[in-house]
């Protein structure tokens, strides 16, 4: 039951962020923010958000064992922020093996993709 609750919580985050992002794009372009960029409180808020993204990314980088996956998630997190973070958590919940506790989401590392040579494992 806790797994379903966590899944629904992060799906809700993702959908809410996506809806507000689409709404914002319909009102004003992403690069049409000069007045905001001059506001010191907006600068602090932006810095706070990106330091938070980097904090979560450190956890993602630890969980992901290949450089390619680490790079892809870095781009996603820095580009899409908490939408990417919520998607990552959703994927972790879905991949969680049955019978394991939710704490495994925090501590279970992803397995690297194995490449077999000459068709042998």
Q: Does residue 79 sit within a domain?
A: yes
Q: Does residue 10 sit within a domain?
A: yes
Q: Does residue 113 sit within a domain?
A: no
**Sequence-separated (6 or more) residues with CB below 8 Å from residue 77:** 53, 56, 57, 60, 84, 85, 88
> Rg (Cα) of the chain, in Å, rounded?
18
Among 76, 94, 93, CA closest to 85: 76
Q: Residue 102 in contact with residue 4, Cβ under 8 Å?
A: no
Q: Does residue 120 sit within a domain?
A: no
**Threshold 0.95, pTM exceeds:** no
- Owning domain of residue 65: 2-107
Q: How confident is the model at residue 35 (pLDDT cuts 50, 70, 90)?
A: confident
**In total, how many domains does the chain have?**
1
Residue 96's pLDDT is what? 85
Q: Does residue 119 sit within a domain?
A: no
Q: Does residue 11 sit within a domain?
A: yes
pLDDT exceeds cutoff 80 at 68: yes
24 SS3 class: helix
**Sequence-separated (6 or more) residues with CB below 8 Å from residue 68:** none
For residues 108 and 43, which has the higher predicted lDDT (pLDDT)?
Answer: 43
Q: Does residue 66 sit within a domain?
A: yes
For residues 106 and 45, which has the higher predicted lDDT (pLDDT)?
Answer: 45
Q: How confident is the model at residue 48 (pLDDT cuts 50, 70, 90)?
A: very high
Q: Does residue 38 sit within a domain?
A: yes
Residue 121's pLDDT is what? 41
């Amino acid at each position: 039951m806790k797994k379903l609750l966590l899944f629904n919580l992060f799906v809700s985050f993702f959908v809410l962020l996506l809806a507000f992002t689409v709404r914002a794009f319909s009102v004003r372009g992403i690069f049409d923010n000069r007045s905001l960029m001059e506001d010191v409180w907006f600068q602090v808020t932006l810095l706070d958000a990106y330091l938070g993204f980097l904090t979560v990314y450190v956890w993602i980088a630890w969980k992901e064992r290949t450089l390619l996956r680490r790079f892809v998630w870095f781009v996603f997190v820095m580009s899409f922020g908490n939408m990417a973070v919520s998607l990552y958590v959703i994927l972790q919940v879905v991949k969680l093996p049955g019978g394991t506790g939710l704490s495994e989401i925090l501590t279970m590392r992803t397995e690297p993709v194995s490449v077999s040579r000459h068709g042998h494992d």
